[in-house]
Structure 1
């Protein structure tokens, strides 16, 4: 079957271009990612809105806002680190990792870990 514009490959490439355009328009540069596109957009949109709405920006407030949002929407346990300079080495759940910068000055590391519920003692 010829690819007449409705093929899966074209759709995938088109969505990747749209994602890149979205990041560019919001001043975001993705450093590393293992997360579905819809979650990437959610993370960037949430980070941008939180950053722009804060009267006085603090890394801690932005990190708390992102963690709370992702815990609420995608379940626990999300972690978020925000700053201008930090090192990290983390283990994340598959499909739950994004490291990006906004405006080339704020770096955001958002990742999910698996939580095992404690078993009740009999």
Structure 2
């Protein structure tokens, strides 16, 4: 067995430098691995915080949408009410300048409007050579 023992010793002497180099590589990478692990933990915590913020934002959005739908339903009910329909002319008068109201009242009472119902062809004024307005 001396040959086998010599072979084992020879192989151990040859492998020892490679094992030592591998061990040094492992030792050299441990600080980098520790930093990477720490950064990964921070990223996971940050991700969890962001997920919580997204969840809170979604809940707030849902609440706002519910309030919006409730307001829209209330406005629709208001527009369907008889009081809204009855007070329509008052709202129109309140937001329409008096000059526009006067013009609308005058034009609605004009003969041109009265004849625009399609009851016949428009008539020319007497003494008009064809360039006058329809009356």
Q: TM-score if structure 1 supplies the norm length?
A: 0.20
Larger proportion of strand? 1
Greater length-normalized contact order (CA 8 Å, ≥ 6 residues apart): 1
Q: TM-score if structure 2 supplies the norm length?
A: 0.19
Larger Cα-atom Rg: 2
Larger proportion of helix? 2
